[in-house]
Amino acid sequence: MATKIYPAASLYVGDLLPEVPEGLLYDVFNAVGTVSSIRVCRENSTRQSLGYAYVNFSSAQDAERALQILNNTPIKDKPCRIMWVQRDPSVRRSPVGNVFIKNLDPSIKHKELFDMFSDYGNILSVKVVLDKNGESKGYGFVHYDNAQNAQKAIDALNNKTIGVKRVYVGNFVPKKELLKLKELSWTNVYIKDIAPEVTLEELKKKFSEVCDNDQSHLTSCVIMTKPDGTSKEFGFVNYDKHEYAVNAVETLNSAQLGSKKIFCARAQKLEERKQVLKKKEIQWRMSKVTLYQGRNLYVKNLDEDFTEERLNKEFSAIGPVVSCKLAINPQTGLSKQFGFVCYQNPEDATKAISEFHGQILQGCTKPLYVALHELADVRRPKLAQMHMRGPAMYSGQWHNYPYPAQVMRPYPNTPYPQRGRGKPHPRSGGRTQGSHPRHQQTNQPSPQPRSQAPFTLPSLSLKHILALNPKDQRQALGELLYRAIQHYQEEPYLGKITGMLIDSTIPVPDLYALLSDEVKLKSQIDEAMRLLPPMQH
């Protein structure tokens, strides 16, 4: 019979070295009470320890004894940090009862901090923040079970000397709320572009203008200098009131001081500046996504001697182009074989995809790849998802996909333009689609064609498919792919492979391109066959 584990019989054990295994923890904790189970939490892919574990005891009494005896005990020469498991995340994240301590003496670690604060109430957890070498960063946290005990500790220990340092003890404020408070109470002003000849007294005089020329409201004023004593041309002024600092930024920014106009802004720590810049970058990127959504195209497979002027000329034939940029190798001055074209309206961009994708322009050696451009932030998650789903991006339910031609013909009245394989593109200089050697490779060993019937382009063009709604686009492609794949596979594989392709995340233009590229189509069929289970006969 399995041992019953009580809700209050589980401990969190933190600050563990990566090489501490379950077996060692079992030996340590089972010495003070009966251990039911231990789990070291690990990173999913590498199975590397995350530095903490959960220890479950048979009784709450054993767990409590382990907490009292083993908390801050070294395990492989590093003191562990133990606390009760709190299964309610709202309690763990709540700032209520949480005390923040800073300016701690480096010699004070978890045990010393626990001993100092345990006189004021029941402690849920104690933590001194350590660097990668295990040394204190000079601050920590003590979480009490209620706000009253936390206030007792603050009243008793704030501004007291502990060790050799006078510490600050106050209620913990979450980072988001702290940033809001700083926004409403900052007093420090950053000044740059200070002319080399400007003295400290001149700077004080200038910045006291916002407080009726009373320099007593300036709690500090400094011009940063180099080792040789010359000015670094930036500095800081701190006021005793938030209103004066705001007024200084608003009225003195771009003011003339000496031979230069100075720049003034709220002084921020490095981490805060990074967050602000990151937020601005995200806003800028999102504005770009909104501004160019559906209009900006990514074009690749251009030749090295292709010019930006020609790129603009080719794509301007479709409609008005707002901007055109060809990526250039700065060392050679030649094209990197890709570029970007932004149209004035989305309709022209869609038309350009259907006209140019898969076509070979005059003087070029490869079929163009043309698709809507996506920012890296948008593209990376998609690529990561595609990688997780396998090389060919097949992860759907692929057991029931009937795609016979008679079922997949949902558009009996759709006009099918007579566009055969031999019809040249108007800008291809007479070269036909598929005439490039890339389209004539047939040396892949599998899958072998079931018949020697010619591989031909479908009569339904990409332009007509893209004119349909998204759901109907893939449904229409189902029939075309079914007819192409049947040259290489029979049922039941034929319908299943077709379904896997249609339900994949491959863009519609890329799926359509498979119809005119035997090598790529065979590669996709090979990949699908590797993923499909053997059929039972």
pLDDT of residue 375: 66
Q: How far apart are CA 199 and CA 258, in angstroms?
A: 10
DSSP result, 6-26: -TT-EEEEES--TT--HHHHH
- State how far the Cα of 508 lies from the Cα of 473, in Å rounded to an integer: 7
> Residues 495, 403: contact at Cβ < 8 Å?
yes
The pLDDT of residue 88 is: 65
Pairwise CA distance, residues 198 & 427, whole Å: 66
Helix (H) or strand (E) run with residue 360 in it: none
Pairing of strands 231-239, 49-57: unpaired
Question: How many angstroms separate the CA atoms of 498 and 521, rounded?
Answer: 11
Question: What pLDDT is recorded for position 520?
Answer: 86
Taking the C-alpha atoms of residue 211 and residue 243, their distance in angstroms, rounded to an integer, is: 9
Confidence band, pLDDT 50/70/90 cuts, at residue 379: low
124 pLDDT band, cuts 50/70/90, is confident
User: How much is the pLDDT for 385?
Assistant: 54
246-297 pLDDT, tens digit each: 999 999 999 999 999 999 999 988 877 787 788 787 777 777 666 777 889 9
pLDDT, tens digit, 9 for 90 and up, residues 156-215:
999 988 878 899 999 988 877 777 777 778 899 999 999 999 999 999 999 999 999 999
Q: How far is the C-alpha of 495 from the C-alpha of 479, rounded, in Å?
A: 10
Strands of 296-300's sheet, edge to edge?
A: 321-328, 335-343, 296-300, 369-372
Percentage of residues of the chain with pLDDT beyond 70: 79
Mean pLDDT, rounded, of the chain: 79
Q: b/e per residue, 44-74, with b = 16+ CB within 10 A?
A: eeeeebebbbebbbbbbebbbebbeebbbee
Q: Cβ contacts of residue 509 below 8 Å, gap of 6+? A: 353, 354, 357, 358, 370, 371, 462, 466
CB within 8 Å of 164: residues ≥ 6 apart = 105
Query: How confident is the model over 407-447, as pLDDT tens digits?
Result: 333 333 333 333 333 334 444 444 444 444 333 436 434 45
Delineate the domains of the chain, giving CATH numbers in brackets: 10-84 (3.30.70.330), 89-172 (3.30.70.330), 182-267 (3.30.70.330), 292-378 (3.30.70.330), 389-531 (1.10.1900.10)
Rg (alpha carbons) of the chain, rounded to whole number: 35
Residue 61 pLDDT > 80: yes
pLDDT digits (tens, 9 = 90+) for 64-117: 899 889 988 889 888 888 888 876 666 666 678 899 999 998 888 888 888 889
Find, among 405, 411, 529, 517, the residue nearest to 473 by Cα. Answer: 411
CA 14/CA 113 separation, integer angstroms: 16
**Three-state DSSP state, 140:** strand
Say how far apart CA 248 and CA 58 lie, in whole Å. 65
Give the DSSP per-residue string, 160-198: -EETTEEPEEEE---HHHHHHHHHHH--EEEEE---TT-
Structure tokens, 155 = 């009243």
Rank 33-37, 120-124, 289-293 by mean pLDDT and report only the highest: 33-37
pLDDT tens column, 467-493: 888 778 888 888 888 888 888 887 778
- pLDDT bracket for residue 535 (50, 70, 90): low
- Contact criterion met (CB below 8 Å) for 362 and 289: no
* Phi, psi for residue 397 in degrees, rounded to 5: -75, 110
Over 80: is that where the pLDDT of 220 sits?
Answer: yes
The residue ranking higher by pLDDT, 508 or 315, is 315
- The first and second tokens of residue 132, run together, are 């990668």
367: DSSP letter: -
